[in-house]
């Protein structure tokens, strides 16, 4: 019998299961995807996360981590399954419900059930708790129930799981204490105990805060475009104020969390969330706004080809979910423009209905225009030859100020950028995000 069963072995569940195995627990990883289970039972993973492949392999060799498609009786069950939104932005809790139902036959008195999936306020008690109560056992009395959200940064998940502070929300205080005893075995951040509903709201507040603040930077960028003001300089200057920290503007937001989680609050509390809804619309409109600017030049027209550079929502990661690239591609198709999407890291395939390739030259060949969405390191070092040799047009939009504008302009390109208009100059390159494995994380890794 496993001590801990982790349900859902994706970007959150697999690193969590591996760290728990490394901390000495007997862990069963459960996933409904048999390919994930098969890979894990060979000590492998397809997820590109710093340190993860090594940790999975070590956990597998120590026999502390095995995988299956169904849970088995355990002391603790941790649910890390997806909570996406439906096309009308309502949350889709089917994976949480089915994972909870798969625990039901194995639930015993004294067990601990933890929900980690980002969820609307009340999900832990009203969805997970209610389903589990069908066993005849009462949450908070016969078994412990908790909500413990994740704050990991994709690309650096393992180190963040170890080092980040965590909020642990118990249905009862005893439930929170029980979960703390598990997390403190691998987490070196501060563990703060609260109730389940507060912890659920905390997680949604964190991502909504990011979404609204990025929308604010984008609104400033759009104002600067109409005034011919360089928004990057304006933000730098405004941030000299000791209590102001405006974020960077760009093509919008992406990933599994920031464009999704605010909708949980908007759906649940429509009367309080006009600001949140407006921020969602601003961020979702940014990439399309740039597409319109390209088309206004009349050098990208219906029938022409646009190459989108970057399908992951963030630099130097392979996660293709919810990128602004797909919103731009959808809008381009609606305007009769053909689209090719390139990404150096994303596994080639079709995402949100759009094919993504690793072949840069193929993607650029015959393009009238290109639009950079993701500031991957691989794009920062591109020479203008990469574009001139393949493209038919000389029009580029750089939503992140990642390309070498001086050399592109020398090669005859018109470069449009976020917030500084067509005539703006390229700024000094912002530092590329770094994957950091801290000493503390290294120590934990060395134990597995
Ligand atoms: N990825 C992140 O950076 C991040 C950060 C914070 C919070 N979260 C939240 O964590 C949750 C999980 O996200 P993720 O990125 O790990 O998702 P993911 O899509 O990478 O992985 C989820 C896994 O769950 C599996 N699954 C689906 N239904 C299942 C079921 N009934 N039983 C067992 N396995 C099942 C899927 O096959 C998949 O492998 C989501 O709620 C997400 O919002 C993610």
Q: Is the CB of 13 under 6 A from ligand 1?
A: yes
Q: What percent of the chain stands above pLDDT 70?
A: 94
Q: Is the CB of 361 under 6 A from ligand 1?
A: no
d(CA 425, CA 233): 11
Give the residue, by CA position, lying nearest to ligand 1 atom 27. 81
d(CA 144, CA 105): 16
- The pTM is what? 0.90
Per-residue pLDDT of 407-425, as tens digits, reads 999 999 999 999 884 434 4
Res 147 pLDDT > 50: yes
Q: Is the CB of 10 under 6 A from ligand 1?
A: yes
The catalytic residue among 203, 224, 305, 314 is 203
CATH topology of domain 4-189: Rossmann fold (3.40.50)
- Residue 11 Cα, ligand 1 centroid: separation in angstroms? 7
Per-residue pLDDT of 165-196, as tens digits, reads 999 999 999 999 999 999 999 999 999 999 99
Q: Is the CB of 99 under 6 A from ligand 1?
A: yes
Higher-scoring residue by pLDDT: 59, 337: 337
> What is residue 369's predicted lDDT score, i.e. its pLDDT?
98
CA dihedral 163, 169, 173, 177 (to 10 degrees): -30
Per-residue pLDDT of 299-343, as tens digits, reads 999 999 999 999 999 999 888 888 999 999 999 999 999 999 999
Where do the domains of the chain lie?
4-189, 207-417
pLDDT band at 446 (very low <50, low <70, confident <90, very high): low
Q: Is the CB of 82 under 6 A from ligand 1?
A: yes
> What is residue 439's predicted lDDT score, i.e. its pLDDT?
47
d(CA 5, CA 27): 6
Q: Is the CB of 17 under 6 A from ligand 1?
A: no
Pocket test for ligand 1, best of 52, 67, 80, 263 (most atoms within 8 A of CB): 80
Res 83 pLDDT > 80: yes
d(CA 375, CA 396): 14
What totals of helices (H) and strands (E) does the chain contain, helices first? 18, 15
Degrees to nearest 5, angle at CA 214 with 354 and 332:
25
- Residue 119 Cα, ligand 1 centroid: separation in angstroms? 12
Give the residue, by CA position, lying nearest to ligand 1 atom 18. 10
d(CA 97, CA 176): 22
pLDDT band at 279 (very low <50, low <70, confident <90, very high): very high
- Residue 95 Cα, ligand 1 centroid: separation in angstroms? 9
pLDDT band at 131 (very low <50, low <70, confident <90, very high): very high
Residues 342, 360: contact at Cβ < 8 Å?
A: yes
Mean pLDDT of 30-59: 91
Known active-site residue 233: no
Mean pLDDT of 336-363: 97
What architecture is domain 207-417?
A: 3-Layer(aba) Sandwich (3.40)
Strand order in the sheet with 65-68: 65-68, 27-30, 4-7, 76-79, 112-115, 144-147, 166-170, 191-195
> What is residue 438's predicted lDDT score, i.e. its pLDDT?
40
pLDDT band at 427 (very low <50, low <70, confident <90, very high): very low
Res 26 pLDDT > 70: yes
Q: Which atom of ligand 1 is nearest to the CA of 260?
A: 43
Known active-site residue 203: yes
């Amino acid at each position: 019998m496993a001590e801990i069963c982790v349900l859902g072995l994706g970007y959150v569940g697999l690193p969590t299961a591996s760290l728990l195995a490394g901390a000495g627990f007997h862990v069963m990883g459960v996933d409904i995807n048999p390919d994930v289970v098969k890979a894990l039972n060979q000590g492998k993973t397809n997820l590109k996360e710093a340190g993860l492949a090594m940790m999975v392999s070590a956990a597998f060799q120590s026999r502390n981590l095995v995988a299956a498609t169904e849970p088995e009786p355990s002391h603790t069950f941790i649910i890390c399954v997806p909570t996406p939104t439906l096309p009308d932005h309502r949350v889709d809790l089917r994976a949480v419900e089915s994972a909870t139902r798969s625990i039901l036959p194995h639930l015993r008195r004294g067990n601990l059930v933890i929900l980690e999936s980002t969820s609307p306020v009340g999900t832990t008690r009203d969805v997970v708790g209610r389903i589990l109560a069908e066993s005849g056992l009462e949450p908070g009395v016969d078994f412990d129930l908790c909500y413990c959200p994740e704050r990991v940064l994709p690309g650096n998940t393992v180190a963040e799981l170890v080092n980040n502070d965590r909020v642990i929300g118990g249905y009862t205080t005893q439930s929170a204490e029980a979960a703390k005893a598990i997390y403190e075995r691998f987490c070196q951040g501060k563990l703060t105990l609260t109730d389940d509903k507060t912890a659920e709201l905390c997680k949604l507040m964190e991502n909504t805060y990011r979404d609204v603040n990025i929308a604010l930077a984008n609104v400033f960028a759009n104002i600067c475009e109409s005034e011919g003001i360089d928004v990057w300089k304006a933000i730098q200057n405004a941030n000299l104020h000791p209590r102001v920290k405006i974020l960077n503007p760009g093509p919008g937001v992406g990933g599994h969390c920031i464009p999704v989680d605010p909708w949980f609050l908007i759906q649940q509390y429509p009367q309080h969330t006009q600001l949140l809804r407006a921020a969602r619309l601003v961020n979702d409109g940014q990439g399309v706004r740039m597409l319109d600017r390209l088309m206004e030049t009349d050098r990208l027209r219906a029938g022409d080809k646009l190459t989108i550079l970057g399908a992951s929502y963030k630099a130097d990661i392979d996660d293709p979910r919810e990128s602004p690239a797909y919103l731009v591609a959808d809008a381009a198709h609606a305007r009769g423009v053909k689209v090719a999407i390139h990404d150096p890291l994303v596994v080639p395939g079709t995402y949100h209905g759009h094919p993504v390739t690793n072949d840069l030259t193929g993607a650029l060949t015959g393009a009238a225009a290109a639009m950079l969405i993701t500031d991957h390191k691989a794009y920062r070092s591109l020479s203008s030859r990469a574009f001139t040799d393949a493209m038919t047009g000389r029009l580029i939009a750089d939503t992140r100020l990642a390309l070498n504008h001086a050399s592109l302009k020398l090669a005859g390109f018109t470069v449009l950028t976020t917030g500084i208009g067509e005539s703006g100059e390229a700024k000094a390159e912002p530092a590329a995000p770094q994957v950091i494995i801290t000493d503390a994380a290294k120590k934990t890794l060395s134990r597995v």
